[in-house]
Amino acid sequence: MNRRSHRPRPITDINITPFTDVILVLLIIFMVATPLILQASINIKLPEASTAVPLKNLSQRYITITAEGVVYLDKEIVTRKELKRKMESFQKENPDLSVVLRVDKAVRFNEVVSILDTLTELQIHNLSIAALTTQ
């Protein structure tokens, strides 16, 4: 009798189910947190308004103009032509597209009017202008 032949073999398989669960949870957390982190990464000084109201629409795009005149669509730097082309494609996907315009208070009004003119030309009328509330 050979005693070695009856020993149980060690388990060499790796169970990846718990690992997959953890990865999926982390993925969901990052998907939710990334837009919040990115939105806060563009430094602008918003103007103040006493009648500012928080927005509740989730299908919206953010156009940001920094004090240096750099234009962002969501978190991506764009030129005026790229902005127009991308907003046009977004509107085709979602006719009820909502746009939030975030403009540094040091930006010349001429640049804001240029963006508003582009949005009007594309028939985007659901527009909000971001401001800080005064207390």
pLDDT tens-digit profile of 71-80? Answer: 999 888 999 8
How is residue 31 written in tokens? 């998907």
- Residue 130 is predicted with a pLDDT of 81
- Residue 24 is predicted with a pLDDT of 92
pLDDT over threshold 60, residue 3: no
- Residue 52 is predicted with a pLDDT of 56
Is residue 39 assigned to a domain?
no
Show the domain range for 13: 3-34
Is residue 122 assigned to a domain?
yes
Average pLDDT over residues 79-102: 89
Question: Based on the structure, what is the number of domains in the chain?
Answer: 2
Is residue 14 assigned to a domain?
yes
Output the CA angle 48-50-61, nearest 5 degrees: 60
Q: φ and ψ at 49, to 5 degrees? A: -145, 140
Statement to judge: residues 74 and 105 lie in one domain: yes
Is residue 20 assigned to a domain?
yes
Statement to judge: residues 23 and 48 lie in one domain: no
Statement to judge: residues 107 and 67 lie in one domain: yes
Statement to judge: residues 74 and 26 lie in one domain: no
Contacts 24+ apart (CB under 8 A), 68-77: 69/107, 69/111, 71/115, 72/42, 74/38, 75/38, 75/39, 75/41, 75/42
Is residue 52 assigned to a domain?
yes
Helix ranges restricted to H, the chain: 17-41, 80-93, 109-121
Q: Mean pLDDT over all residues of the chain?
A: 81
